[in-house]
Structure formats: C-alpha cells, structure tokens
Structure 1
C-alpha cells in the first residue's frame, strides 16, 4: 500500500506489485516474478463537510452578516473550553489542553464560550477614539507625535474580547472528532469592520487522522505500508 498527502489524500493498493527477493532471468519468459504493478485500487480519503466548511472560511475576511450566518449554521461545532483553559482550575491538564494553553499564552489571548461567539457575531459594536500623544525629550530637544486609536464598548470601557474558541470537527467523514483552536479577530477600516476566523495548525490534525487510518488499514490487511507513489 502507498499513502500520499499531495496532491490528493489517498491510499493506493497494488495487487501485482514486485515480489520480494532477487530476480532470475528466463530466456523465454523473461524476468521471473516480475510485476507490472498495473492492477490497483485507489481510496481517496473523504474530508468531512464540517472540515470543508471551516477550512473554507479560515483566514478569510467576513462581513458581520457573513460571520453571523456562518456561526448560526455551525455553532454546534463550537465547544465549551475546559476549566483549565478558563483558568478556573489548576488540575493536571491533558496534552491537548496544554497545547491550547500554549497557543493562548503566545498570542496573549483568552478562550471564550460558544454563547460569546454568537453574541459577537450578532451584536458587535465598536466605538473608536483617537488621541494625539506628544512626547518631548529635554535632553536633545526632540518632540515626537503619536496618534493613539482606542476601541471601546458602548459604555466607554476598553474593548475586551475573547480571541480564541474551541471547535470539535471530524477530519474525515464518519471519523473521530478533533479539537482545534480557532482565533477570532477583527479589523476596523473607516466605517466598516471585517472579521476573521483562523483555525490553528489544521495540517497537524489532517496528518494525524490520515496516519491513523493508514495504520488501521495496514493492521487489517497485513500489507506493507509505504509513503509515496508506486512506480508507473
């Protein structure tokens, strides 16, 4: 069996592959034990609909209407963060929780709950204030000017939003769910606001899922597994 990631996620089985050991040559029939490797079965791994939907919007700028529609249609994929990720518990975390916590620490983010994401997609309001900050250096006589923009909520407080959410989706149809971290961000330009949902490291989940399915196929068939493409 031959497994490949690119250009397609597929598993190819060659029925008449070359036999093991050295070859002998017969003057009439040619090389004994030669296989033409032309009888093949190809299985293309079916990506789940959930995976396709999240990958389609990952990293793409969305309007508030587009964000609200996407969240409404896919809110069941968003799961509650564990107490460890909410800093409500210091119990021994699972390895996946530690990975998520590391992401949050590196980007200075915090995990939100599903209802917060729904509220953000439906009732997001920004009040922007601009201030001019003047700094004078008496030692060298220089003066620096800096415009400071600050985003505030409806009550005038600095805007504090959850920037990370957890989703649980299968990579392949009918397979186990994978917990993935999704980042929520926005960009204000003039009077418009664009939103973005970015799924962190989906390639790791994709590779893990495929390796697991290939290992399962190998165990069931007892065939050798190689990564790459068979000879033509």
Structure 2
C-alpha cells in the first residue's frame, strides 16, 4: 500500500469516528459536534407519527376557533387577542409552568363583514349627490329606524329617519342632478334644507329639499357576527356653479370595532373557560 493510500485510509477512518460521536449535554441542551462538511439528517418523516404537535390552524369564524381550542387545549394553553387589527391566537404549548416551544397554535383573524367594509370604505369619500344617493339606496337594507326615546341616543338628538324616508330623499337627489344649489340651512328637527334653482321648460323655478343630517345603521362588524348600531352623518359642500358635493361621516367607528372585539373576547372566554390576554404571543 502506498503512502498516499495509507493517508487516505487514515483520514476516512478519523472522519467516520468523528461522525459516530455521542450526543453531549451542554447546560441541558443536546449538542452533537460534526466535522466540517457533514450535516445531521432529520429523519422525523420516517416516524409513524410526529414526535409532538406543531403548526398553526387558521380559522374563519369564532365558532370554529372555539372548537379547535376546546379540542387541543392543555394546561399550557393561552389565548391572546388584539383590537387593531382584530386577532385571536391560541398557543397550545405556551411558556407556562415549564418552557414551551410556542409553535402549536390556532388563529382567528376576525374578518370584517362585507356590510362594514362597504360603509367604512365610503367614510369621508367626497362624491356627487347622485353617486351618494345611489350608494345609500343600494345599501338601504342596512338602515334602521332609531326612535328618539331609544336608550343610548344623545340628549336632544332627534330620531333617525327610517328606510322609506331615506329612500325618498335619495330618489329626489337623483332627480335633481341638473339643478343649481344656492344655499343650505339647518332646520329645527336637525335636517338640512337646500334651496336650489331649476330650469323647468325654459322657466327658472326655485325649490327646496330637506335632507336628514344623520341616520343609523344596523350592521355586523365581523363576518357572521351580530349587528351593531353605527351612526352616520351626511356632510355636504355647495361648489361654485351650484354643484352639490356630499359624503358620509361614520361617528367613532373605532369604538364600534373595540366593542365588537370585547364582546368576542367575552364569548370566547365563556366557551373555552380561558382568560383572553390583551396582546400578542412571542415569536
């Protein structure tokens, strides 16, 4: 055997011996030292079942989230929640009595309802009177009548118009798209009265139109969730030339989301018998 062959055999034997090292315990952590150029192979996929649970289940409604939590919870389970954005995260192997990996989770991101998205996307968007009237008319099913004696109405505020009244206003606004608006005054009942000039068969005529300043919605905040009351103001600006620009102004929508999240927290806590922690789990 040549000297080169002997050196090659020696290197191979030493390398093999290095690969057969036993696992060492360093401060409670298993460590295996491998020579340069070698990697440890993970053969977990050959096991009949995973050594432990991990992964994140993403749920689309609160009921499904509760079902998974009740099915998978352990003594180490913790539920975290945030308001902005609305999220719920259950960590089944959280750091509790002992350290946990924190990588077995269920998550519910509380998707916003189409009705809530439709109205909030129009919030503050300045459009022509016809466009706004058509939007309200298309979503008239969300308008609810609030009597002035209803609990929660601010002192001195009149009742919200019902859907039929608002529909009539919308159709009048659509019909008056070619008039010149001159002025607007607030009436005693809280509505705004517009004065306009209209050309009728070559003759100028003056007319008036009363529009409610505010109305109320009954819409869900989250998909498949319960409905909440949302108050909406009608804002306007009369431009040079008599054009009327209008927009919607939702009153404190962030508080409505906050209340909806708090209600969800209470429901989930009651159904899982777990406290809801305000915050996010560690990465």
TM-score (norm 1): 0.70
Residue 161 of structure 1, CA deviation: 2.9
Match of 1:41 in 2: 106
Unaligned regions of 5+ residues in structure 2, if any? 1-78, 184-192, 198-204
Residue 158 of structure 1, CA deviation: 6.6
Give the counterpart of 1:178 among 228, 231, 242: 228
Give the counterpart of 1:60 among 109, 125, 134: 125
Residue 75 of structure 1, CA deviation: 0.5
Match of 1:116 in 2: 165
Residue 51 of structure 1, CA deviation: 0.4
Over 3 Å counting, the alpha-carbon distance change for 1:76 and 1:65 in structure 2 is same
Match of 2:88 in 1: 11
When the two chains are superposed, the root-mean-square deviation of aligned CA atoms in Å is: 2.5
Q: Secondary structure at the match of 2:146?
A: coil
Matching of residues 139-218 of structure 1 within 5 Å: 151-152=194-195, 156=206, 160-191=210-241, 192-218=243-269
Over 3 Å counting, the alpha-carbon distance change for 1:190 and 1:64 in structure 2 is same
Runs (4 or more) in structure 1 with deviation over 6 Å come to none
Over 3 Å counting, the alpha-carbon distance change for 1:68 and 1:151 in structure 2 is closer
Match of 1:132 in 2: none
Over 3 Å counting, the alpha-carbon distance change for 1:110 and 1:34 in structure 2 is closer
Q: Secondary structure at the match of 1:95?
A: coil
The aligned length equals 183
Larger radius of gyration: 2
Question: In the alignment, is residue 227 of structure 1 matched against residue 274 of structure 2?
Answer: no
Query: Residue by residue, what CA displacement relative to the aligned partner does 1:115-146 show, whole Å, maximum 9, x if unpaired?
Result: 332233332355416xxxxxxxxxxxxxxxxx
Structure with bigger RCO (C-alpha 8 Å, 6+ apart): 1
Does the 8 A contact of 2:113 with 2:223 survive in 1?
yes
Match of 2:136 in 1: 71
Query: Residue by residue, what CA displacement relative to the aligned partner does 1:72-131 show, whole Å, maximum 9, x if unpaired?
Result: 21011112231xx2xxxxxxx4432x3xx34x64xxx773332332233332355416xx
